Amino acid sequence: METWPYDIIDRLFKPHPMKRILCTSLAVLIAASPALGQHSHGSQTPYAGMQNRAIKSLSENDIKELRRGGGWGLALAAELNGMPGPAHLLELKDQIPLTQDQVTKTQALLDDMRKAAIPTGERLIAAETALETAFSKGAVEEASLRRLLAEAESARTELRFIHLSQHFKTVQYLKPEQIRRYNILRGYAEDPCKNIPAGHNPEMYRRHMGCK
């Protein structure tokens, strides 16, 4: 940026001291404001880098999760409301603990879930690929867009049903204390055995809460 010699500036503003004050204030404001003092070419949006994805709406990790039949966060309504998922139940089977019969039932739920979720996940990936292709080619109009979205959302809804339905089945054979233990181990609740409320007999309270 070209700068003016101070003697020229001084001559310009000498008859108008008030203008000098206003100009100085404006210069300080510009220097302090990124929006005014510099161009926005270097700023990034949260989407920067996503333009390199094969499917813009799905990351590589998303695709891997769908193809392995993973939960993909679709069952949070159940998971965070006291209905454990079969995958995490098996991970924590020794700490809860689960009986052998419960392990067998949980494994069956997990197997059924993945059997249904993997092809449905592929269906969702295919639907998002079709949507990606349409926009990349500029071949989009209202009717076709509605069809593409309907297929993608149909696959997503079915996938969400598959995961949520297996969650509510687990509570049919789990004991309340096992669900409490699951929530503690997953970080959804504080361990009552470590924080005995004031006024309670510690021994009786621990026995009542099933503490070891």
- 131 and 200 together in one domain: no
Tally of CB atoms within 10 A around 12 = 13
0.75 surpassed by pTM: no
Q: How close are the terminal C-alpha atoms of the chain, in Å?
A: 73
- 170 and 90 together in one domain: yes
Nearest to 109 by CA among 131, 135, 78: 78
- 210 and 112 together in one domain: no
Determine the structural domain holding residue 101 and report its residue range: 51-174
- 149 and 87 together in one domain: yes
pLDDT digits (tens, 9 = 90+) for 110-153: 999 999 999 999 999 999 999 999 999 998 999 999 999 999 99
Distance of CA 5 to the CA centre of its chain: 56
- 73 and 129 together in one domain: yes
pLDDT of residue 9: 42
Q: Are 187 and 149 in contact (CB under 8 A)?
A: no
**Residue 196: strand, helix, or coil:** coil
Count up the domains in the chain and report the number. 2
- 168 and 181 together in one domain: no
DSSP class of 200 = S
- 128 and 72 together in one domain: yes
